[in-house]
Structure 1
Amino acid sequence: MTKAECRKLYTEKRKQLSAVEIEHLSGVILDTLLKTVDFNGKTISVFLPIREKREIDTYPILDKRHELNYRVALPVADFQANNMFHYLYENPEQLVVSEYGIPEPVRGTLVSAEEIDIVLVPLLCFDKKGYRVGYGKGFYDRFLSTCRPDCLFVGLSFFEGIDAIEDIFRDDVPLNLVITPYQICHV
């Protein structure tokens, strides 16, 4: 399938999920994530869900940061410069929902790409080689290309992967790992 075909199909599949299913599947994914990936002492880039797009609920990761000893860096999409930067998460008062429906911090301590150890990556669909389909703006691919070579890129998906995305571009950055409610995909 092409990226456009994937985007259309998986957007529709998400629309079919009830709020109860999203909550349950998100919980399964996050439980698996925390059992699979060592967060201790690390700085984790965590996307927050765009509710209207029925994304995986990652808010529980914010609450576990002290208990499990990790720092959370939250991305901010700069649509003017077409890139992302991160603020350290300190408290819920930092957060606002942007005009694009993205929960983002409005202030905080800047966190550079070099400081980030693990990036949780949103996606609509992924393939067996670790390539993903997002919303098509390229924010994550541009950001991932600036991370350290040892940074772990982890996709979170409600659905299983497909065999191949046909139209992969030179600048597309593959994931290292994808966690679904049903399996852990090492790529």
Structure 2
Amino acid sequence: MLKAELRRLMLARRRALPAEELAARSAQVAAQLFSGFDVAAWRTVHVFLPLQRRQELDTWPIIRRLWAEQPGTRVVVPLVEADGTLTQRLLTPDTPLVESAWGIPEPLGAPQIKPAELDAVLLPLLAFDEQGQRVGYGKGFYDRFLLDCPQARRIGLSLEPPGPRIEDAWPGDVPLHACVTPERVWHFGPTAGGQ
């Protein structure tokens, strides 16, 4: 299936998702993440903040659990700069948030963290396939950013299981190492076999 078609389909499915179902699936994804990965080994982890008007997966359960259970782990969130690049900003319980022009909550005055310091990047997506390709909103923010942190584990967070093969993936698309859904964790790569 083509990205544009998948994008339309998944946006419509998300809009139809009741708030209580979104909350339940978000909580299940958080539980799968913590049971499926050695989160305690991550010193610095990137987590996107949910765009509520788009009914994105709620990452606050993940963030709050990291703060509570892994106080030595730094949580960083993206800030979209005017030139379309993502910079990483430290998020603490005391960090004030402001809404960007895109409606994304962003940290105000938070220290910048270098991409080379990231151990894991938790990625937003609309859809993914069993080859580890993902479909986002089509702006390419994350694909460009991921080139700056090749050492980081790339983990998608999805409300849905994998969809059909993404037919128009191209070499500039940075594939996932894994994707977490409410039901399970999918691993990708030459030896993972989609499991």
1:37-76 equivalence runs, <5 A = 37-40=37-40, 41-64=42-65, 65-69=67-71, 70-76=73-79
Q: Normalising to structure 2: TM-score of the pair?
A: 0.91
Q: What is the rounded CA distance, in whole Å, between the counterparts of 2:2 and 2:144 in structure 1?
A: 20
Q: Percent identity?
A: 39
Q: Which deviates the most, 129-138 or 34-43?
A: 34-43
TM-superposed CA distance for 1:93, in Å, is 4.0
Contact 2:32 2:183 in 1 (8 A): no
1:162 is aligned to 163
Is residue 2:59 matched to residue 1:21? no
Q: Normalising to structure 1: TM-score of the pair?
A: 0.94
Q: What is the rounded CA distance, in whole Å, between the counterparts of 2:100 and 2:127 in structure 1?
A: 24
2:173 is aligned to 172
TM-superposed CA distance for 1:161, in Å, is 0.8
1:91-102 equivalence runs, <5 A = 91-102=93-104
Q: Which deviates the most, 4-13 or 92-101?
A: 92-101
Q: What is the rounded CA distance, in whole Å, between the counterparts of 2:138 and 2:164 in structure 1?
A: 20
Contact 2:95 2:108 in 1 (8 A): no
Unaligned runs of 5+ residues in structure 2 are 189-195
TM-superposed CA distance for 1:39, in Å, is 2.0
Secondary structure of 1:73's counterpart equals strand
Q: What is the CA RMSD across the aligned residues, in angstroms?
A: 1.2
Letter in 1 for 2:35: K
Unaligned runs of 5+ residues in structure 1 are none
Q: What is the rounded CA distance, in whole Å, between the counterparts of 2:150 and 2:163 in structure 1?
A: 28
Q: What is the rounded CA distance, in whole Å, between the counterparts of 1:112 and 1:176 in structure 2?
A: 21
Secondary structure of 1:86's counterpart equals strand
Secondary structure of 2:35's counterpart equals helix
Secondary structure of 2:169's counterpart equals coil
Correspondence for 1:77 among 44, 66, 80? 80
